[in-house]
Chain A
Amino acid sequence: MASNVLVIRTRIQILTGIRWRPTEPQILFVLLFTVYFVAACYLTLVANVIYGDAWSRVEIAYRILSSRDPHLAAIGFIWGPLPEIPLLPLVALKALWPQLVTSSLAGGIVSSLCMAGGAVQLRGFVADAGLSRPFVWMLTAAFALNPVILMYGANGMSEAMLLLFLLSATRSLARWLRDDSLNSLILTGVFLALAYLTRYESLGAAASVTAAVALVSYVRVRRAGGQLWAVANDVLLVAAPWAFAFVVWAAASWIITGQPFEQLTSGYGNSAQVGSIYVNRTRVPTGYTAWSWTLVRLMLSQLLLLAPALPLVPLYKVGRLSRSAISLAVAAVACIGGAVAFIVAAQVAGELAHPLRYLIGVVPLAVALAGACIAANQSRQHQEGRRAAAGLSVACALTLFVALPTSAFAMLDATTDPWSFTSNRSIVSSAPDNALGGHLNWSNERKIAADLDAMHLPKGAVLVDDFLGFPIVVSSGDPTQFVITSDRDFETVVADPKGLGVRYILVPVPDVLGSLDAINRQYPGFYASGGGFASLVNEYPATGVNDTTFRLFRIN
């Protein structure tokens, strides 16, 4: 195996003429990035399947730079800021490659980089646990080739970035547990802080990691007869970065918007969306109530389809649990398990919706636990039953691959992935014209943008809330014609559109999400009648899966 890698390295050197000796992780990264990037291009450019949340983040980056009122605070405080940051330089290159923005490809590039990085870290912590090379490659493949991982590496959603930071934190935490290396403890803290700024559910990971560090540090200090101050010190080192990120982000939000926790209080935030869904239940057929057995059954089925090997892994362990094995298992459960547990708890309590992607963490979790099991088995190499142990390890690794078809099934099934199954099906469906999507996706928003561009309107002539109107803004060639939510004078303009130069207003149909639209909230019934001061110009009915029906009004 080593000679194969050497051959690859030498060939790359000859081909490129560069005296660069790539390491295994580097080769893996480039390979996976290529795979995910090609998938991203296929998704967005060929199949025209663009995930709304991903495109929304691209629009956020776009509006920071190119909107009518470009300013950094346009990043918004409802969701974490970190996914938008790497989008900024990519979005700035729109002139060179428009599809970066108009097809959300910038998001795809970032998620490809993140998921490839995450896979490298997974390979890292599996290798750190002492697994032999064949097992390392098998486990990495079980993760990287999983259809869910492939999809979310390609589609630009923030799951990829979250996994990157959680897997990095797992790796450094495992190192600290094994070697007591102060440097690894600091890195764990930093990665948790970055994970927090990506997705808030990582608070669960942060809490469980801090608790684990406190416990392990306490045990160590007591055994060595040291001072308890050392435990407090360790806890500070791992918790201070994410606590700092939490406080600073809440403070920035409070200073700029007046609300420290927009996720919970904003009209667009999670609480509002969840409340809306559970009240209106028209857009997505949920039919689940909090704390109900049907909800728990749904989540179990999602979990088991994503990671069928998870409950089976302990059965393959025959060896003594070595230090490396325990370190990896504890780190994975604390980091990834903590985030997943937070999600599950929130879902069962009815505070969070339940798309399949929220549970994506169980895929690497199963791989990590399998790695721990194999590491434990390998410690039996010098005792009897070596062959049995090796056989069981291979069986364990192969079981992980069962997740590939089951995850694919989960993504295509209406029950397990109600939010995205239609988009996913449209990729594999052979009928391009069917109502499930394909080229029909986002077509009405793009048409709206084209129609407005043709009118050559002046700056600030069209009022639209980019909560749902973002596809229009990014598809337009002239984003400054829009007055959007992030503009600092948005509220003033909504209160008095005619007096402030607006000529047209775009409103979405007031359904589950559309009812959260700022104009629908300010002028109830506007969608039906124009509020008495505007007249209907055109209606653009939704055609694709994720589209929203819009109506264009002209102010009288």
Chain B
Amino acid sequence: MSQENENLEESQAEEVLEEQEQTEETVEVDPLETAQAEAAEYKDKYLRAHADFENSKRRLEKDKMNAVAYANESFAKDILAVMDSFENALASMENSGEDSSEVLANMKEGVNLTFEQLKKILEKNSIKEVSCEGEFDPEVHQAIMQVESDDHEVGDVVQVMQKGYTIKDRILRPAMVSTCK
């Protein structure tokens, strides 16, 4: 019991002390000074936050420039394989014998393989050929002329002058086509 009482007394005494301190504070502290101190603190915080913001903005800009500059790095690396193939082809032609028909046959095979290789690389990099079958689609086809045709419906693609390609969900180059009128 006695300990409890003591505790009670102690806490009461503390409360009184706190009260006294509080009254002293309100007497001593000038509201203008508090406001000024607060303002200075906020200004400091603002300046720091602003500096942080400016720094991260600059860093983002730098990151972005780097990202743009090296965006094609992985694609470029893939393309190097095609470069190697062409160099090998040229070297093998130098070393091949006199039989021109054999050289031509080998070359044809080599070009075909390299073509397939390049196709795979484009596919891997989400570059796909635009389909030009059937109806003209202005989203992926560029009409450059209209022609008469008995074999096609009006508005269909008749001839493809240049193939088109998409990269991911965007058009890289529309296919140049003629349409049936």
Partners in one complex: no
B: residues with CB less than 8 A from A are: none
